Amino acid sequence: VPVTSPAFTVRSGAGDYSVEEFGSIGAAIRSVGAGSRSVYLVDETVASLHAADLAGALPAERTLLVEASETAKSLEALSPLVCRLLEMGIRRDGTLIVVGGGTLQDIGCFLASILFRGIAWELVPTTLLAQADSCIGSKSSINVGAYKNQVGTFYPPRRVLLTPAVLATLPWDETRSGLGEVIKLQLLAGEGGFRELMADLERSSIEPSLLARWVRRSLEVKKTFIETDEYDQGIRNLLNYGHTFGHAYESATHYAIPHGIAVILGMLTATRISASKGFVPRDHYRELRAMLQPWYRPYQARLRGARRDEIFRAIRMDKKNSSNAINCILTRGFGRMEKCTVDLEAEVVPVIDDFIADETTDPDLS
Amino acid sequence: VPVTSPAFTVRSGAGDYSVEEFGSIGAAIRSVGAGSRSVYLVDETVASLHAADLAGALPAERTLLVEASETAKSLEALSPLVCRLLEMGIRRDGTLIVVGGGTLQDIGCFLASILFRGIAWELVPTTLLAQADSCIGSKSSINVGAYKNQVGTFYPPRRVLLTPAVLATLPWDETRSGLGEVIKLQLLAGEGGFRELMADLERSSIEPSLLARWVRRSLEVKKTFIETDEYDQGIRNLLNYGHTFGHAYESATHYAIPHGIAVILGMLTATRISASKGFVPRDHYRELRAMLQPWYRPYQARLRGARRDEIFRAIRMDKKNSSNAINCILTRGFGRMEKCTVDLEAEVVPVIDDFIADETTDPDLS
């Protein structure tokens, strides 16, 4: 039974799907129905942390516990999972119920899209990042060999079952990382929402109801992009704002910087490049940096571990780029992002060098 | 340049695609264009047999030769292929050109559907089975562990490039096997087409132009089914005519009986079950058997190697069936197939026992 807000619907080329809210993960799972043809794919950490809530909701003989790791979301690791699901008796008219964060979503979405050429699946996202951002949009990303996220599918679930109350139980670092995409979506939406969000976040404590509100607000923004361009051939590209440079910082620090924090650093980098090209006033960059620094500050020193050549190699390797011409999202102000091609050597390298120097020579950093 | 017939178009939910004819495999491949973003996935046997025709058409640094085997079309075998394609520089705006029979089509279709969440691909089918049947319809099938064809995608190519002249170079056994699906499609279409086909096949030699004609006629029939029901939720199921029992004969003889021949034996079995249920007169079965026997006769004795329990286990394991209630396609006459549920013990076992006894005690069999 939905407890907080009524369902809304996301339009999709593969079939519209609903987003509903529940009071707990257990309540969400029980709403799927105990059909004998349902099989459950559950993050083992979630199963352990929420054992009391989940008692009785997950039939042991049809529950597959998975570690949420980059290794587990690789093409190489999928065969044993497929075999286990088939042994458990999953059928073409069955449903795969996926419980976990973004990694479980990637694995579950991909498995559902290829089993019997596609079976129904439902998603119970358990992290802020998954609830506020990745749970809608149909995408899965899978690693292959040394290549990250080069394989995947567009395959929406039948339902998304949000449990915003659970967000209050997340470790603070994970909440902080999830806020990276929440902030990105409001920057894409325009100045009003962004300033409202930042004012809310500056409060002394972040209430569960406040997170629930910004989950909803984030999905409202993302919905407009994905409904217009589900298959990422135009305006949906803008959701990559901060990601080209953010991925490079993640990769060059060997993932010592969490994804959401890397996105914040990537958006600042994009804003600084935009300022150097005259797209926005220099003060726009300074103001954003001052507002966002409290959120990335605990990780700021880790940029010191990023080798310069690894950052630039990662940008070049990015699947959207070739040679020296870099496709990325720049900004002309709040809510005015656009896809641009910039010159790596001339327009990106000097700005990133300055950005890293500023962020890592901050006298207050430990 | 198309040489035989003008292109026709197949409507698809994922984008319409064209079917064109060319004089040789080399001519077909050259028509794709030598864009540096194209990568070629080629059956190693085709590359070897048609080396002269292909000279200059396949750039070595962007051609991946693959063995057409059940092992190669497994989920486990795909990771190295994906890595090789990425090393060769395939990009999201590139094209994968697939050259080979049904196995290469399965591998290529699946890879194209998951690389960068889907890239364009074009198909040059080189066997009779692939040209007359599997090349349209969007399906891929992939093995996982001990499970055959349980994983796959619906992902049509951008173009299908037929080369009917090549069919004359196929080994006679492969042609005979391919004819199984050609015969099935005409049985589904109605009496007129089926009798016309059988009269053509009874000629002393099968001319290349005759095969080309029946490739076209087969695709015309299949097109009506897949355009009405691309995702196999209704009338397209009828294309499985002969397959539930045929797969069981293939599996129980450890693939000593080729697919197309097994489909013929499966259709006869379905017709005999239909007769025993009173759907068709017994004479309909007898006439069909007399007409089809010349085509399966060389393989008929191999049914002796099929263990009874393996046949019934395979039928039960079929992904469409559970327990004793068997979903299969039965017939009420030419062009009047329908999906039925029959009782394995009561309605299938006795008929198959009689069928196998008749086919394996034929006094003329060696």
B47-97 tens-digit pLDDT: 999 999 998 899 999 999 999 999 999 999 999 999 999 999 898 889 999
pLDDT at position B204: 65
Return the number of other C-beta atoms located less than 10 Å from residue B167's C-beta.
Answer: 23
pLDDT at position A177: 87
Section A22-44 average pLDDT? 88
Give CA–CA dist B267/B57, Å, rounded: 41
Give CA–CA dist A164/A210, Å, rounded: 10
pLDDT at position B321: 60
The three-point CA angle A275-A280-A285 to 5° equals 60
pLDDT at position B1: 41
Q: What is the dihedral of CA A12, A17, A22, A27, to 10 degrees?
A: -130
Q: What is the dihedral of CA B125, B127, B133, B136, to 10 degrees?
A: -10
Mark yes or no for CB contact A319/B117 under 8 Å: no
Number of H helices, E strands in chain B: 14, 11
pLDDT at position A256: 93
Pairing of strands A8-10, A17-21: antiparallel
Of B77, B85, B82, nearest to B103 by C-alpha is B77
Mark yes or no for CB contact B118/A153 under 8 Å: yes
Number of H helices, E strands in chain A: 14, 11
- The tokens describing A351, both together, are 């700005």
Section A264-274 average pLDDT? 98
Is A35 in the B-facing interface, judged by CB distances under 8 Å?
Answer: no
Of A33, A45, A88, A37, nearest to A64 by C-alpha is A88
Give CA–CA dist B142/B103, Å, rounded: 9
Section A339-353 average pLDDT? 96
Minimal Cβ distance to B114: which of A86, A118, A151: A151
Is A100's pLDDT higher than 90?
yes
- The tokens describing B350, both together, are 């006795």
SS3 for A228-289, per residue?
A: HCCCCCCHHHHHHCCHHHHHHHHHHCCCCCCHHHHHHHHHHHHHHHHHHCCCCCHHHHHHHH
- The tokens describing A211, both together, are 């997170």
- Eight-class DSSP state of B139: B
Is B364's pLDDT higher than 70?
no
Is A195's pLDDT higher than 60?
yes
pLDDT at position A321: 61
Is B240 in the A-facing interface, judged by CB distances under 8 Å?
Answer: no
Mean pLDDT of chain B: 93
Q: Lowest-pLDDT range, A26-35, A79-88, A345-354, B163-172? A: A26-35
Mark yes or no for CB contact B153/A114 under 8 Å: yes
Mark yes or no for CB contact A117/B92 under 8 Å: no
Section A299-305 average pLDDT? 92
With tokens 């909803």, the residue in question is A216
Is A150 in the B-facing interface, judged by CB distances under 8 Å?
Answer: yes
Query: What are the backbone angles phi and psi of residue A75, rounded to the nearest 5°?
Result: -55, -35
Section B18-41 average pLDDT? 88
pLDDT at position A147: 92
| Å between A86 CA and nearest CA of chain B | 8
pLDDT-derived band at B168, boundaries 50, 70, 90: confident
pLDDT at position A2: 42
Is A197's pLDDT higher than 70?
yes
Residue of A nearest to B78 (CA): A75
pLDDT at position A36: 64
B300-320 tens-digit pLDDT: 999 998 999 999 999 988 755
- Decide: B25 and B124 in contact? Cβ < 8 Å: yes
- The tokens describing A339, both together, are 């896809």
pLDDT at position B38: 87
End-to-end CA distance of chain A: 48
pLDDT-derived band at A1, boundaries 50, 70, 90: very low
Residues of chain B in contact with residue A154, where contact means CB-CB under 8 angstroms, are 117-118
Query: What are the backbone angles phi and psi of residue B82, rounded to the nearest 5°?
Result: -60, -45
B110-148 tens-digit pLDDT: 999 999 999 999 999 999 999 999 999 999 999 999 999
pLDDT at position B2: 42
B209-245 tens-digit pLDDT: 889 999 999 999 999 999 999 999 999 999 999 999 9
Residues of chain A in contact with residue B144, where contact means CB-CB under 8 angstroms, are 79, 82-83, 86
Is B4's pLDDT higher than 60?
no
Q: Is A133 helix (H, G, I), strand (E, B) or coil?
A: helix
Residues of chain B in contact with residue A110, where contact means CB-CB under 8 angstroms, are 114
Q: Look at B106 and A208; give whichever has higher pLDDT.
A: B106
Minimal Cβ distance to A145: which of B83, B92, B153: B83
Return the number of other C-beta atoms located less than 10 Å from residue B149's C-beta.
Answer: 18
Residue A168, class by beta-carbon neighbours within 10 Å (0-12 exposed, 13-18 middle, 19+ buried)?
A: middle
Is B9 in the A-facing interface, judged by CB distances under 8 Å?
Answer: no
Of B18, B73, B14, B26, nearest to B50 by C-alpha is B26
Determine which helix (DSSP H) or strand (DSSP E) holds A8, and give its type and residue range. Answer: strand A8-10
Alpha helices by DSSP H, chain B: 25-30, 44-49, 51-54, 75-87, 102-114, 128-129, 172-189, 191-201, 208-228, 243-252, 259-276, 282-300, 308-317, 349-360
pLDDT at position B28: 95
B294 Cβ neighbours under 8 A, 6+ residues apart: B202
Residues of chain B in contact with residue A117, where contact means CB-CB under 8 angstroms, are 139-140, 151-154, 232
Is B144 in the A-facing interface, judged by CB distances under 8 Å?
Answer: yes
Q: What percent of chain A has a predicted confidence (pLDDT) above 70?
A: 95
Q: What percent of chain A has a predicted confidence (pLDDT) above 90?
A: 83
- Decide: B141 and B149 in contact? Cβ < 8 Å: yes
Mean pLDDT of chain A: 93
pLDDT at position B202: 86
pLDDT at position B34: 61
pLDDT at position A365: 61
Residue B209, class by beta-carbon neighbours within 10 Å (0-12 exposed, 13-18 middle, 19+ buried)?
A: exposed
- The interface predicted TM-score (ipTM) is 0.92
With tokens 């994906």, the residue in question is B82
Is A319's pLDDT higher than 60?
no
Pairing of strands B95-100, B147-151: unpaired
Section A254-282 average pLDDT? 96
- The tokens describing A20, both together, are 């509903």
- The tokens describing B87, both together, are 């090393």
pLDDT at position B6: 64
- Eight-class DSSP state of B23: S
pLDDT at position B7: 84
pLDDT-derived band at B33, boundaries 50, 70, 90: confident
- Decide: B51 and B39 in contact? Cβ < 8 Å: no
Task: Report the phi/psi class of residue B118: left, alpha or beta, with left for phi > 0 and alpha for psi in -120 to 50.
Answer: left
Sign of the torsion formed by the C-alpha atoms of A48, A50, A52 and A58: negative
